[in-house]
Every structure is written in structure tokens, then in C-alpha cells.
Structure 1
Amino acid sequence: MKPIIIGIFAALFFAFTFVLNASMDASGGSWIWSAALRYIFMVPFLLVIVMVRKNLKPLLEEMKRAPTAWLLWSFIGFGLFYMPLCYAAAYSPGWLIAGSWQITILSGSLIAPFFFVTIHTSKGPILRREKIPYRGLSFSLIILLGIIIMQLEAAQKISLEVFLLGFLPVLVASFSYPLGNRKMMELCDGRLDAYQRVLGMTLASLPFWFILSMYGLSTVGLPSLNQSFQSLIVAICSGVIATVLFFMATDLVRKDMKKLAAVEATQSLEVLFALAGEILILSIALPSSTSWIGIMIVMIGMVIHSQASMKKSSFIPENVMRN
């Protein structure tokens, strides 16, 4: 259960993203700076951590081996993940974005065919495409059902345009984050720890954030002091702490697609943590009885998903290596 527990703590700190992005938008901040400042602020913190651990040189050497792959998967895993989330915050309330983001529970399972395993036989190595873990996917649908019920009443009060502008960008983000994360795990193959991998991906995504910052300067001007401060909090809580915790959890189960899906499913708890944060910080109304039913279904789905994945996990023999 260790990866599951770490994943739950990651979800807690990830929830700061939805609450503070909603707060920044409510105070007139631009989604452009909410996205760019988070990753720019992450660099010095991660750099200090990796340098203190004396792991910077191995990271730089690893990045030199495949610079194109680092740029590509960091752009997808970080750029196409966080920019759409911040864009959606400009059009939809935080609770809707947090709920829509849980589609990543399904996305993480559906991208399995993008990966291969190499099976060494007497006739030579054979590539086999990964299969979608349908059993784990069925448990993910239980969690998703709970989220839909939890937000059904509130969703009826917003327009279709607001829903689409909030949902479609999040849909892109839901596929981009697990795809970029898994591809980087595949590329590093356990040679880097979570701190190194997060720093490496942050550094590799900086060109994109600098370009976005230039666009922000030319369109909305400099960010306010309040937005900069809140972006700093998001960078520390969500960008550094939550991302490192989540990467640690996925690293522990990187060779088991069923357990990996279970760890990724823990992120459904972001909805509950974000809801609590918005009640405490933004003073939103308490959930209705229908929403509480959805919350209970989410919790039940989480328990079933994690237990089933831990009891019956896929075993990879020593002669099977992931591509």
C-alpha cells in the first residue's frame, strides 16, 4: 500500500493547484502567468534539492544522451498538462476543473497501447504492445461515476459554453500528464530518482514557459504581486512536493500497469481536497446531499481499485524488459 499512500499525499498537495488557480482568476490574474510562473519558480527549489543530494551531474549526463526526447516528453508531460488546466480556470470554477481532471483515471489506462514490452525468446526478441487493463478500468469507472454524481447538480447551473471551455482543455491535460510521465520513466529506466526527474523535466520545459511568458508580456503585461505570491505557493506545494511524491509513487510500480493505474487513481481524491480547500479558503457553499453520495462512491471506488490491484498484479519475468 506504500505507493497508494504516497499517491494520496500527492493528491492533497495537487489540490492547491485548483484552489489557488480559482483564487487567482477571481482576483483578475491571467492564466498565462498562473501556468508559466509555477514552473519558473520550481527551478531554484528543485536545483537546491538535487545539488544537496549530489545528483545534478548524473541528471545532466542523462539529459545529454537524449535531448530531443527530454524536450518532447517534458513539453507534453508538463506543458500540455498545466497550460490547459490554467486556461480552463479562466472559464470554469475550480470544482468543475478538479472534477473534469479525474478523467485522467481513464486516460492513464487508455494510453497503455502506446507502450511495448520486449520478450526475449529462443528466436530472438519480440515486441508486444501493452494491453489496456480492463479490470482496473472498470474500477476507475466506479470512481468516475461518483465524481459525476458529486457534481451533477452544480453542472446543471452553468452554460454549455462554459462547460466545454473548462472541459476540453482538461481532457487534453488528462492524457498529456500520464503519457509524458510514463515516457520519461521509460526513458530513464530507474537511473534517476524522483527529484532528478522532476528537475530534468522542468528544465527541459523551460523554453516553452519562456515563450509563454513573452506572450504574456505582450498581451496582459506583468503579473501582480498577489498572483506571483500565489503562484509561488502552487510551485512549492503542487509543483515540487506533489509532483515529487507522485513520481516517487509511480516509480515504485513503473513495471506493473495495474498497480500504476491504481496509483494514478489516487488522484481522484484531489476533488475532495479541492472541495475542502474551496470551502475553507474561498467560502463556497457546502455540498448537497447528492454530492455527498458521489463523494462516498469515490471513496468506495478508491478502496476497491487499490485492493484489487494489490491482490492481483501483473508479474514481469526477468527476461521481459520494457521498451
Structure 2
Amino acid sequence: MLAILGVWLVIMGKARLGLDAIKIFFRHWIFWTVAGSVGFGVFYALITFSSVFAPGWVVAATWQTTILATPLVLLAFGRKVPLKALALTVIIFIGVILVNLEQASATGLREVLWGALPVLVAAFAYPFGNQLVWEARKGEKSFVPSIDHPVMDDPFCRVLLLTLGSLPLWVILIAVTTPPPPSAGQVMQTAIVAACSGVIATSLFLYARHHARSTAELAAADCTQSMEVVFSLAGEAILLGHVMPGILGWGGIALTMVGLMLYVTFQSRQ
């Protein structure tokens, strides 16, 4: 991600802005290490761990609990969240349970727990890290540094800052797990994920979040992640030839999608 971001900023004529981002990082290195390690490090590490034990569509469906986590994270930052909206997350949570029940019947409870529990933690880590950045840009919280600089308005620079902040966690994980050198295939797959998910998708997501002016708009932006389930299913069926979910799985996905649509509809009326 660092290599791709560096090349992209140079191509876009934003090399000086990228250097400013590095200066901002060292000026507030504790903040960015916390935000990056939680929002990027914990998130990516746990999602990757879960993918070993569960299909991508199950991980994506379970990930929808981040919609449940977002209001709780906003409340933790002292932001007001409509209580009625929280009730709609019950529908989403039931859908997630159905998806994992079907997976449990196919693979066993142990695999489901190893596949689902890390995703639940990641579902809180991602919005927490992103909200730290949003609060730093707003400059309204005493426990978060106020960072009023053009780099905070550029989504690629924000991704760069979070990526830099996550590096200490990756170093610790490598030291603890001592993995073997990656194969050529792993390097290529990682490069694709870094470009599509880490740089493009995350930059677009942070761009949308940056323009949110209320908790309702923040929650609506986070709800867009619901389409992960659809794309994961399509990708696994077309590219990997995986078996499609059964009746219980489809029912869980349907409940999740309906709950998310109702959630966004309710938020848009606030």
C-alpha cells in the first residue's frame, strides 16, 4: 500500500502533499500509531485470520455487524445516535446469526467461532480507527489532537497516514509469528488486495466519510459496506467455483440487506 500510494501521489502531482503527510505523522506519531494499528492493523489482521476458517461470503456477512458497531463507537466518542436506529440493527444481527448457523452445520462450531469472532472484533476496530481520524479533522475532542491541514482533506493522504501508523503492529506480528517468506502467488494476491481494497476502496470510503456532517450521514456511509456480501458471493462463484449458500444462508443475507436498507432509510429522514 505504501508503494502504491507513493507512486499515485507522485503521478497526481501531490508529492509535496505526501511529504507533508509524513511530517504530520511524525508530529502526531502516537495518535497515528493508535489509529492505524486499530483501524488498519487489527482490522486487516483479524479479517485475514478469519478467512482461513470461513468462506469469503460468510466473513463479509458477519462483517455487517460493523453497522451495529458504528453507533456504539459514535456513542463512545460522545456523538448522539438515534435510539430507534439501534433497534433496526437487531434485524441485521439475526441475519448474521443465520449465515453462521448454516456455516456451523457444514463445517462445525469450532471453525465458525474462529471464523466469526475475529470478524466481530474487526467490526469495531475499523470504525474506531476511522472515527479517530474524523474527530481529529473536526478538532472538537480534547483527547484527540486537532489536525487542521490540507492532508486531512485528501483521502489518499489519510490512507497513507493510517498505513504508516499500522506498521509497528505488522512488525510485532511478524516478530511473534515468524512466518516463512511469501510465495510469488502470495505477493501478487497481496498486491491486488493492497490496490483494490487498501488504496482504492478505502480512499473512496474515507472520502465519503469526510463529507459527512452528522452521525446520521456517518452511519449511512458505513452502511455502504453491505454490498460486500453480494460482491463476495459473485466473486467466489465466478472466480473460485465455490458452492453457493443454502436456504438458511440466503435467508440470513436477505435479512441483513433488508435491515441495512431500513437503517439507511431511517437515517436519511433524520
- Amino acid of the residue matched to residue 191 of structure 2? L
In the other structure, the counterpart of 2:27 is 65
The alpha-carbon distance between structure 1 residues 293 and 208, as it changes in their structure 2 partners (threshold 3 A), is: closer
- Give the deviation of 1:83 after TM superposition: 0.7
The aligned amino acid for 1:179 is F
Q: Which residue of 1 aligns with 2:156?
A: 195
Report SS of the residue matched to 1:287. Answer: coil
Q: Mark the CA change 1:53 to 1:109 in structure 2 (over 3 Å): closer, same or farther.
A: farther
CA distance in 1, matches of 2:48, 2:209: 24
Match of 1:211 among 172, 177, 190: 172
Distance 1:174 1:298 in 2: 15
Q: Secondary structure at the match of 2:227?
A: helix
Q: Give distance in 1, aligned partners of 2:41 and 2:206.
A: 17
1:229 lines up with 2:188 in the alignment: yes
Between structures 1 and 2, the one with greater strand share: 1
| Kept in 1: contact 2:64–2:256 (CA 8 A) | no
Matched, 1:275 2:223: no
Give the TM-score taking structure 1 as reference length: 0.72
User: Could you report, residue by residue, the CA deviation over 1:94-132 in whole angstroms, capped at 9, with x for unpaired residues?
Assistant: 2322222221111111112321xxxxxxxxxxxxx3344
Matched, 1:88 2:56: no
| 1:284 pairs with 2:242 | yes
**Partner SS, residue 222 of structure 1:** coil
Tell me the distance in 2 between the aligned counterparts of 1:94 and 1:63: 33
Deviation at 1:215, TM superposition (A): 4.5
Instruction: Please give the per-residue CA displacement for 1:246-285, whole angstroms capped at 9, x wherever unaligned.
Output: 11111111x3112211221221221121111111112122
Q: After alignment, is 236-245 or 146-155 more displaced?
A: 146-155
Q: Which amino acid aligns with 2:244?
A: L
* Partner AA of 2:207 in structure 1: M
Structure 2 counterpart of 1:133: 82
Q: Which moved more, 1:45-54 or 1:220-229?
A: 45-54
**RMSD of Structure 2 on Structure 1 (CA):** 2.1
Aligned mate of 2:129, from 180, 192, 203: 180
What runs of 5+ residues in structure 2 fail to find an aligned partner? 139-147
Superposed CA offset, 1:27-70 (max 9, x none): xxxxxxxxxxxxxxx11111122333422133233223311111
Q: Secondary structure at the match of 1:156?
A: helix
Q: Which moved more, 1:223-232 or 1:148-157?
A: 148-157
Between the aligned partners of 2:3 and 2:119, the Cα distance in structure 1 is 28
CA deviation after TM superposition for structure 1 residue 76, in Å = 0.8
- Spell out the pairing of 1:1-323 with structure 2 (5 A cutoff): 42-51=1-10, 52-54=12-14, 55-115=17-77, 129-189=78-138, 191=149, 192=152, 193-215=154-176, 218=178, 220-253=179-212, 255-312=213-270
Structure 1 position 151, deviation (Å): 4.8
- Quickly say closer, same or farther: Cα 1:89–1:212, change in 2 above 3 A: same
Query: Mind listing any 5+ residue stretches in structure 1 that lack a counterpart?
Result: 1-41, 116-128, 313-323
Partners of 2:52 and 2:258 in 1: CA distance = 32
Write the letter of the residue equivalent to 2:260.
M
Of the structure 1 ranges 54-63 and 171-180, higher mean CA displacement relative to structure 2 is found in 54-63
Letter of the 1:267 counterpart: Q
User: How has the CA–CA distance of structure 1 residues 63 and 138 changed in structure 2, closer, same or farther, with 3 Å as cutoff?
Assistant: same
